[in-house]
Amino acid sequence: MFSKSGICQRLLPGLLRQAHNQQIATLKHFAPPIEYKNVVMPERPKLRFMDKVPILPTNMKAPKLQKKLKFMRGPETVHNTLLYKQYGIIATGGGRLRWGHFEMMRLGIGRKMDVNRMFAIWRVDAPWQPITKKGQGQRMGGGKSAIDHYVTPIKSGRVIVEMAGKCEFAEVKPILETVCHKLPFKAMVVSQEMMEEMQAEEERLERENTNPYTFKYIIQNNLGGCHRWLSPVDHKWFGKYL
């Protein structure tokens, strides 16, 4: 329900406009424009080209590696913050980036960004981990097959791409979202304020939790005999990361 004073404030401008047939302007508050004094534009604002195959010495044969799923599991502990404190794409799950994904991001962002006000940088390495694959129709055995392609393993929380410059989040978000949903793992577009809010919310939930039977407590105390069916990854990350 509206109060009498509120109804009068809503109806009075309309009545005066009808009676005198003129526009009535009221005072409005506009936030001051954002200053970008500390923004330094680089020489090359667009994302650089990534090599499809790592460059090795001429006298060295390309090495083969195991699957190494540990490169994708767990949280990212190093590259999990924004260097320019503005905007970027972070992974919310683990996965592998192929060279085609790098090209998709480079071309998709480069076509839509304003190079006079914005710039973008990579926060991941070029494909370096070799993935082998046998030819179609081959029988089992015969040793490890030849290298098929190279990938870059990504952990949850890793910053993939950063965008910064003299721009706002409303301008950058549509550009990053066009490539974010095409990645082979779950990812999201964030700003520095969003990352700070997510970290504060996570700390608040942990601080205000009143239920002592957390997933970590259940695993550590083997409640219900859960050790019989849990994997070693659950004992390490307590169900938080796959």
Q: Comparing 203 with 241, which gets the higher pLDDT?
A: 203
Q: 112 CB contacts (<8 Å, ≥6 apart)?
A: 174, 175, 178
Nearest residue to 167 (alpha-carbon basis) of 123, 116, 111, 121: 116
3 band by pLDDT with thresholds 50, 70 and 90: low
Give the torsion through C-alpha atoms of 38, 41, 45, 49, to 10 deg.
-80
Q: What is the DSSP letter of 143?
A: S
Instruction: For residue 151, list its beta bridge partners.
Output: 98, 129
Q: Say if CB 96 and CB 152 are below 8 A apart.
A: yes
Instruction: Count other Cβ atoms within 10 Å, centred on residue 176.
Output: 26
Q: Residue 188 belongs to what H/E stretch?
A: strand 187-191
pLDDT of 8 reads 57
Least confidently predicted of 29-38, 124-133, 198-207: 29-38
Tens digit of pLDDT for each residue in 24-40?
666 778 888 888 888 89
Tens digit of pLDDT for each residue in 45-64?
999 999 999 999 999 999 99
Q: Say if CB 129 and CB 68 are below 8 A apart.
A: yes
pTM, 2 dp = 0.83
Give the residue extent of every domain in the chain: 37-134+144-208, 215-241
pLDDT of 96 reads 97
| Mean pLDDT confidence for 131-152 | 94
**37-134+144-208: CATH superfamily:** Ribosomal protein L16/L10 (3.90.1170.10)
Residue 108 has pLDDT above 70, yes or no: yes
pLDDT of 172 reads 96
Residue 163 has pLDDT above 70, yes or no: yes
